[in-house]
């Protein structure tokens, strides 16, 4: 299944309350930054941050990397790998779950 590539001919995901037109990337960025500040988040958040977070959450919850690739619409798996950020704890859990010595009861 090939997912559509987003472009101007696609229906808008974010629309203005004034006239229903497509919101610009800058407008969406301002909305995201304002919401992040209001919620106490000090790290700079961009709309693209949600894409990275979604990919990482999917991977942490054992989604197949190829499925994540399809969801993100990447042609190359290497692009998808850049989106997925794993912590040391994620890696330790993978060893505990998958390696024969990691599964031993202690």
pLDDT in tens, 1-20: 444 555 556 677 888 888 88
Residue written as token pair 């037109």: 21
Q: What is the pTM of this model?
A: 0.64
Helix, strand, coil tally for the chain in percent (to 5): 50, 0, 45
Could you report the per-residue pLDDT of 35-69, keeping only the tens digit for each? 999 999 998 899 988 998 999 899 888 899 999 99
Segment 27-36 shows an average pLDDT of: 93
List helix spans (H) across 39-87. Answer: 47-60, 65-72, 77-83
């Amino acid at each position: 299944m090939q997912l559509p590539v987003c472009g101007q001919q696609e229906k808008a995901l974010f629309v203005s309350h004034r006239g229903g037109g497509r919101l610009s990337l800058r407008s969406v960025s301002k909305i995201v930054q304002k919401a992040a500040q209001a919620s106490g988040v000090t790290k700079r958040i961009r709309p693209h941050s949600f894409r990275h977070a979604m990919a990482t959450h999917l991977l942490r919850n054992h989604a197949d990397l190829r499925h994540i690739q399809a969801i993100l619409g990447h042609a190359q798996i290497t692009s998808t790998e850049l989106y997925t950020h794993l912590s040391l704890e994620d890696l330790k859990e993978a060893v505990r779950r998958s390696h024969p010595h990691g599964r031993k009861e202690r």
